[in-house]
Amino acid sequence: MPFITQNSIQEVIDKMDAVAVMGDYVRLENRSGRFMGLCPFHNEKTPSFSVNPDLKLYHCFGCGKGGTVLNFIMEMDKLTFPEAVETLAKRFGVALQYEAGGNVETDKTAAKTDALFDLYSRVAGSFHYLLAKTPHGKPALTYTLSRGFSYEMVEKFKLGYAPADREWLFKFLSKKGYSEEFLAESALFARKHPRMSFFADRLIFPINDRQGRTIAFGGRLLSGDGPKYLNTPESVLYKKGQTLFAIDSALPEIKKTKEVSVAEGYMDVIALHQAGVTNAVAPLGTAFTDEQARLLRRFAERVNLIFDSDGAGQTAAVKAILTCRRNGLIARVVRPGKAAQAGRHDESGGADAAGVALKKVINMKDPADILKEFGKDVLKNCVKSDILDFDYLIARSKELYDTNDSEGKFKAAAFIFPYLETLDSDVVRDAALGQLADALRADREAVRNDYNNRRTNAVSRHSATGYSYDQRPHNLSLRMNEELFLLAVVAVNDGLYSQFRARLSIEEIEDLAAKDIFIALEECFVHDETGLDALLPRISSENTRKFIVERGVTTEFSSNPEQLISDGIKRIKQKRIERRSAKIVTELRLIESNHNKDENTYRLAALDDELLLEKMHIDAELRKLKENKE
């Protein structure tokens, strides 16, 4: 989809009323220009949620949450940034412009995208009709129902059938008025043979975005040779690493419970939904990606990983655990074949029958098989049998390595070290190292040493004096000082940075948090972007972002900002010059004390003269600063 222009975003920000927007979620009272209310993010009895209507910032002094109005809308309604902008634009009557400002090419791109959405909706409907209503689709429908799926699931997921005749779809769509050129770019047909459908004689699974719009298809082979599963190639609408199968159906339950179940494939997800696990989704022909994890993190806190019990499934589970933890999600692992309470009694209720059933469940590989063999109740019970990701990894390491000898213990520990590196807390990591050592019956200190050696051998980060945007420190500890105060004043007051950067360079700043803000401001300046919505995401340290938001809701940085900046620059320059002056004095004293000891008296004399000249220049600069003649 086209990008919203920066001018449109700024117009939305300028026109929106922060108090009116947040007042829809929080009852706010005006207290001397600051609007206060009960925080919507945690339970409290005394208002600690503060809104600054001028800077359009919010901050809770109780739980620490804060940000811009756009951040607030995104978090409360679980919207993306463009969705939040579009929502506020409608409310405040802003006509958004996209990409090149509504020129002919942009309009063509938007029209083409809309046409693709319409095409995929029509094709999904046609495939579904062929499956549910025609003799051509009857074998595929029979197969689907034989897997234990109800007709309700066929309707819910709009499952379909692609005919064996690979030219059928092209002929059908051509009769509907679609051009050959448009269809060739639709990702529905083979690139080398644009009349040949990408899918033939396959059970079709429509892939929808979060709004429920069909953007791609997955197809399961029913007969003949070829890959068991195929997905639509990536297109303008579809990026396989950025969405998940059934996300539109699962999202209401995910939002409600803050929990999501991630399975391996289409059939597993449908089986889980039939069993009542309606928060289930699946990756799309790839491993679970960081982008997909970040998508789920907007709505969920916990992930249940329900992967096949074979070797490939367990390897995928390990990778998914690391992906979850890297992106702030707590992971638990469901192993359907290990679910001891998943057995069921037969109609007579005999214990032997239950044991036989349980043994069969243990040998089942995935949720779809369990649904087919035992039904939805057994599958639902299986899903309840989950373990924490760390406990699963320990168990898995013991399956992979013989921990009865030292070499096996070392390999088992090394298998889990990547997981430990995803943990943010040193306390949690240290406890996990101890638990790991105990589980392997190894010396705790030895395991810690192995882990620390691994970290020491990793590539060191760049020094703080030369980091790029992506290399900046992410957890700076903050202590208020003149540099940090000065950069915060510039950050929360639009329009002052261009003058500020002409009077002070980043080389004159020593505090790391202040440097972080300086770099972010420069990036906004280069990209001609203004406002905290553009600035805050570019500040790498979360602590620094929180600092600006927390202080920004007060009047500390907004009272006569021009004077605050002018005075701040003067103090920083003056202290920097004074430090250099003191260093020169020290160097001159060293030269004087060593003058008679060194044979090269001419060199020392020359250095003495050079330092004296620099000292005179510095003294002149100090006088100018003190006379306010900077």
d(CA 227, CA 346): 38
Supply 19's token pair: 């108090």
- Mean pLDDT across the chain: 82
What per-residue confidence (pLDDT) applies to 471?
42
Q: How far apart are CA 360 and CA 371, in angstroms?
A: 12
Q: Which of 327, 275, 282 is nearest to 304 (CA)?
A: 282
CA distance to 282, 408, 435, per residue, from 405 (Å): 39, 5, 18
Cα dihedral: 192, 193, 194, 196 (round 10): -140
CB of 553 closer than 8 Å to CB of 57? yes
What's the pLDDT score for residue 122?
95
Long-range Cβ contacts of 518-522 (<8 Å, 24+ apart): 518/487, 519/469, 519/472, 520/491, 521/487, 521/490, 521/491, 521/497
User: How far is Cα 155 from Cα 133, in angstroms, rounded to an integer?
Assistant: 12
Nearest to 337, CA basis, from 268, 266, 407, 385: 385
**What is the C-alpha to C-alpha distance for residues 284 and 218, in angstroms, rounded to an integer?**
8
DSSP H/E element including 71: helix 69-77
Q: What pLDDT is attached to residue 361?
A: 46
Distance CA 218, CA 285 (A): 9
Q: What is the pLDDT of residue 619?
A: 66
Distance separating alpha carbons of residues 100 and 109, to the nearest angstrom: 11
Q: Name every residue whose Cβ is closer than 8 Å to that of residue 13 and which is 6 or more positions away in sequence.
A: 56, 69, 70, 531, 533
What residues have CB less than 8 Å from 16, skipping those under 6 apart? Answer: 56, 69, 88, 91, 92
Q: What's the DSSP call for residue 342?
A: G
Residues belonging to the chain: 630
State both tokens at 358.
């349980």
- The segments of the chain whose pLDDT lies below 50 read 101-106, 339-359, 361-363, 459-473, 599, 602-604, 606-607, 629-630
Look up tokens 């995803």; give the residue. 422
What is the reported pLDDT for 358? 44
For 373, the token pair is 């063999």
Instruction: Please list the alpha-helical segments (H only) found in 244-350.
Output: 247-257, 266-274, 290-297, 311-326
Task: State which amino acid sits at residue 558.
Answer: S
CB 355 within 8 A of CB 343: yes
What is the predicted pLDDT for the residue at 466? 36
One-letter amino acid identity for 217?
F
The dihedrals phi and psi of 383, each to the nearest 5 degrees, come to -65, -25
Rounded to whole angstroms, the Cα distance separating 338 from 330 reads: 21
What pLDDT is stored for residue 621 in this prediction?
A: 66
Residue type, 249: S
Q: What pLDDT sits at residue 599? A: 47
Per the CB < 8 A criterion, the answer to whether 245 and 284 are in contact is yes
Mark residue 100 as left, alpha or beta (left: phi above 0; alpha: psi -120 to 50; beta: remaining): alpha
**CB of 268 closer than 8 Å to CB of 282:** yes
pLDDT at residue 587, as a whole number: 65
For 115, 125, 130, 264, 283, the CA distances from 121, given in Å and listed in that order, are 10, 6, 14, 25, 21
For helices 168-175 and 104-133, the axis angle rounded to 10 degrees is: 120
- Per DSSP, the chain holds a count of helices (H) and strands (E) of 27, 14
Q: Write down the pLDDT at residue 168.
A: 95
